[in-house]
Structure 1
């Protein structure tokens, strides 16, 4: 435990809660966690579950006690909250604030610190999350590797592209819902449809994550037998607007992340 770090969260929302759960799961990756009192319910819940969680009196107490500080506040209040804090030179700061410019954060922090931006997803609670971080940082990458997998981005462009890709999550579940709707509309009990579709998609994701897989295209060909049913659905999706709609949606998300017009 001697070399383990103390981590603090300024802002205690859903992502902060998920990270705390992942970091303190056995074996714990950090020795102590401080959380701000802003969301009293979540803070109290974490303190009740984990002996190593302390609810700080205020945000400055979090900063004062921690080696690593995670900024997990809403973009609308970020400047007000961050400017009020006094950070130590060489302190490690991780920002999980969505769509926030790095230079703005540095201007508000006003200290010589290591700043890493990250996009953790809720699955970090189970140590199964994939997290994009920028710029590369071995210590912060190790932290997120504990929570699943860290992808270290060499540039803000890479980071923004992965942020755009993460906007696919709701659509993933949407496809599952639409397929279940179709099954139900054609006479299958909804509970049976859900019991079939969820494991099917899980198995496909596990297959895609195997180390020897070279590309998603290879998998698509593997599962699309020539003249078969999978090939038929893929062909319909590609030729009847599905592919183009997906690309357009991702282009518009990236434009929004980069602060450009989404009228494309």
Structure 2
């Protein structure tokens, strides 16, 4: 990827998503010339430095800003303001914020300098360059980076971006539903390892169908995989009628409200 192959990317914050992004960016062939990470999480930063020769741990957050053409802000929203306000950014510097539930205008106020700011919602799959990432506003550089890490979805409006951020909050529910099915199988006498092997492969296959047949409405696929009067139809109807759909939509509404403050 020629856009950033000769550049240095910095990360202020070294949590799980930073770790996934760094591994995705620096895996062979690397997408950047080098990476700088902040020392806040010494264990994670040290592990990444041991893993990649093109990565160094900065002495402090300001050193990350000073040494990078592109800076990721990867900080928990609870402490974001106190971390960002003391930092001095260069005019026109490219900044990509992956801070949750924090408005663009608020970030610009904290930064206090005219930077090229993009917001993104990367997911852990970027480590394997399989992630789908929502970005706002549309930006050629940021889209190219995340297309190299999987797929970038450029949002034309903040409303679209917030909606996709809310939809991404269903990941734990996805795995939780799988876990409940495996628990049920084990309770009924199925060895847990066999139940997990089966259910994981089943859900993975269904996801691939949704990706491959993206021209078919998911409601149609649901009917296609549910024989009239059959077992799949029965479970879906029980789920829907007994509050499953309502609980899901209510949860999404509450997450969206939280994102929008």
TM range (shorter): over 0.9
- 2:110 is aligned, of 108, 111, 117, to 108
What CA deviation, in whole Å up to 9, does each residue of 1:151-170 have, x standing for no partner?
A: 11111111111111111111
What CA deviation, in whole Å up to 9, does each residue of 1:120-159 have, x standing for no partner?
A: 1111111111111111111001111111111111111111
Q: How many residues align?
A: 259
Alpha-carbon distance change, 239 to 44 in structure 1, aligned in 2, over 3 angstroms: same
Q: CA deviation at 1:73?
A: 1.2
The residue that corresponds to 1:76 in the other structure is 78
Alpha-carbon distance change, 189 to 61 in structure 1, aligned in 2, over 3 angstroms: same
- Please say if 1:210 is aligned against 2:212: yes
User: Within 5 Å, which residues of 2 pair with 1:7-86?
Assistant: 7-86=9-88
Q: CA deviation at 1:234?
A: 1.2
- Please say if 1:181 is aligned against 2:188: no
Give TM-score scaled by structure 1 length. 0.94
- 1:152 is aligned, of 151, 154, 157, to 154
Secondary structure in structure 2 of the residue aligned to 1:21? helix
Q: CA deviation at 1:214?
A: 2.5
2:5/2:31 contact within 8 Å kept: no
Give TM-score scaled by structure 2 length. 0.95
Q: CA deviation at 1:223?
A: 0.6
Q: CA deviation at 1:218?
A: 2.1
User: Within 5 Å, which residues of 2 pair with 1:164-175?
Assistant: 164-175=166-177
Alpha-carbon distance change, 243 to 3 in structure 1, aligned in 2, over 3 angstroms: closer
Separation in structure 2 between the aligned mates of residue 108 and residue 257 of structure 1, nearest angstrom: 18
State the superposition RMSD in angstroms. Answer: 1.4
Separation in structure 1 between the aligned mates of residue 21 and residue 213 of structure 2, nearest angstrom: 26
